[in-house]
């Protein structure tokens, strides 16, 4: 059985957090890093909110709301109700305990800390030993072109409930962003790199688009493996399936592999897509077929262990 030392996961929010939690359950946490999408970050009421970082952090801390996968279990909304009393329309759900995270993050950032050190401080306080690494300390913002106009990501995703057809996607300010030294070191010293089953277009692509990260991955010694978020022609949740279609790729693990072409060595697909094992192998990929829908914590650990049990090789 292979012994992977340093394991690095690339993750967005809910789908990514589930697998990172699985990895944290079965792998030494001081040898586990998650590089997390920050292109969903935005400001609200003067507070800096980093939804994907928070989702991974709450999940690893065992605080996440199991019903949604995001937010804090049992959180209340007195603050948001009080904000509504001032005449604001609270379109983005923020629980009272959740506010504490955004208040402190904004405070630390205002004192001059980076997103990376702020995240490390918050995560450590919640007892998390794995390294949670924002992809960059520089601001990057996903924007979505709809039939109407370009929308900010949260406007598209939350306010308009990802109902619009997505005509194009861009990452504002990406060309000026740099990867952090922590991210580059994690990639360079990795023994296995896993692309979590996150939205390929708006969770993983922004990470790959930070100048230097794609190149670092290609130069890495570690095998790189993607877990497909598309199962049986559909995303389990959210607009990943429609987004793949609008990018002109097949809504299947083949389309996922197409988006990650030239970077990944292997792919993990669901039993429902077992028929795609041969065509994926023809594309030069090592394929592992499994039950990839992650339910509870033990299920997440089971999938993580299975991935770590495969002898992945660098193409």
Chain positions contacting ligand GDP, by CB under 6 A? 11-16, 18, 52, 55, 197-199, 203, 227-229, 231, 235-238, 240, 292-294
Write out the E strands in the chain: 7-11, 32-36, 42-44, 47-49, 131-134, 141-145, 150-152, 168-172, 192-195, 224-227, 230-231, 234-235, 266-270, 286-290
Q: Is 205 in the site for Ca ion (CB under 5 A)?
A: no
> In the complex with ligand GDP, which residue's Cβ is closer, 22 or 179?
22
> In angstroms, what is the minimal distance from the CB of 151 to ligand GDP?
16
Q: What's the min distance (Å) between Cβ of 281 and Ca ion?
A: 31
- Using the Cα atoms of residue 172, residue 175, residue 180 and residue 186 in order, give the sign of their dihedral: positive
Is 71 a binding residue for Ca ion by CB under 5 A? The answer is no
For Ca ion, the closer CB: 6 or 50: 50
The contacts of residue 139 (CB under 8 Å, 6+ apart) are: 41, 173, 177
In the bound state, the residue with its beta carbon closest to Ca ion is 13
Closer by beta carbon to ligand GDP, 116 or else 199? 199
**Residue 255 found at the interface with Ca ion (CB under 5 A):** no
Report the b/e string of 82-117 with b at 16+ CB within 10 A: ebeeeeeeeebebbebbbebbeebbebbeeebbbbb
Nearer to ligand GDP (CB atom), residue 185 or residue 237 = 237
CB of 85 to ligand GDP, least distance (A): 29
* 44-63: contacts with Ca ion (CB under 5 A): 52
Rounded to the nearest whole angstrom, what is the least distance from the CB of residue 51 to ligand GDP in the complex?
Answer: 7
Burial 237-268 (b: 16+ CB within 10 A, else e): ebbbbbbbebbebebbbbbbbbbbeebbbbbb
Binder of residue 6, out of ligand GDP, Ca ion, none (CB less than 5 to 8 A by kind): none
Give the footprint of Ca ion on residues 4-43 (CB under 5 A): 12-13, 40
Minimum CB separation from ligand GDP for residue 101, in Å? 16
Q: What DSSP string describes 157-194?
A: IIITTT-S---EEEEETGGG--B-HHHHHHHHT-SEEE
| Closest to ligand GDP by CB, 13 or 223 | 13
Is the CB of 198 or the CB of 292 nearer to Ca ion?
198
Say which residues have a Cβ less than 8 Å from residue 82's Cβ, sequence separation at least 6. none
The site for Ca ion (CB under 5 A) is made up of 12-13, 40, 52
């Amino acid at each position: 059985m292979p012994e992977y030392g340093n394991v690095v996961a690339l993750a967005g929010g809910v789908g990514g957090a589930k697998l990172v939690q699985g990895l944290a359950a079965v792998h030494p946490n001081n040898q586990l890093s998650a590089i997390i999408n920050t292109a969903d970050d935005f400001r609200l009421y003067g507070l800096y909110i980093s939804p994907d970082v928070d989702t991974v952090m709450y999940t690893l801390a065992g605080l996440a709301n199991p019903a949604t996968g995001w937010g804090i279990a049992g959180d209340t909304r007195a603050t948001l109700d009080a904000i509504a009393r001032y005449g604001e329309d609270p379109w983005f759900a923020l629980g009272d305990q959740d506010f504490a995270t955004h208040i402190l993050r904004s405070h630390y950032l205002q004192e001059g800390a980076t997103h990376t050190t702020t995240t490390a401080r918050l995560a450590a306080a919640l007892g998390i030993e794995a390294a949670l690494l924002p992809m960059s300390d520089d601001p990057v913002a996903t924007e979505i072109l709809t039939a109407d106009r370009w929308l900010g990501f949260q406007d598209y995703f939350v306010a308009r409930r990802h109902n619009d057809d997505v005509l194009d996607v861009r990452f504002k300010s990406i060309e000026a962003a740099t990867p952090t030294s922590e991210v580059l070191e994690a990639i360079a010293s990795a023994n296995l790199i896993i692309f979590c089953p996150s939205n390929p277009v708006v969770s993983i692509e922004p990470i790959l688009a930070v100048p230097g990260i794609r190149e670092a991955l290609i130069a890495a010694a570690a095998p790189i493996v993607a877990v497909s978020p598309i199962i049986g022609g559909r995303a389990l949740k959210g607009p990943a399936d429609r987004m793949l279609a609008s990018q002109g790729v097949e809504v299947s693990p083949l389309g996922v592999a197409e988006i990650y072409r030239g970077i990944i060595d292997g792919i993990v697909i669901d039993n429902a897509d077992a028929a795609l094992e041969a065509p994926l192998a023809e594309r030069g990929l090592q394929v592992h077929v499994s039950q990839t829908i992650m339910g509870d914590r033990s299920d997440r650990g089971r999938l993580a262990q299975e991935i770590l049990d495969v002898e992945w090789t660098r193409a």
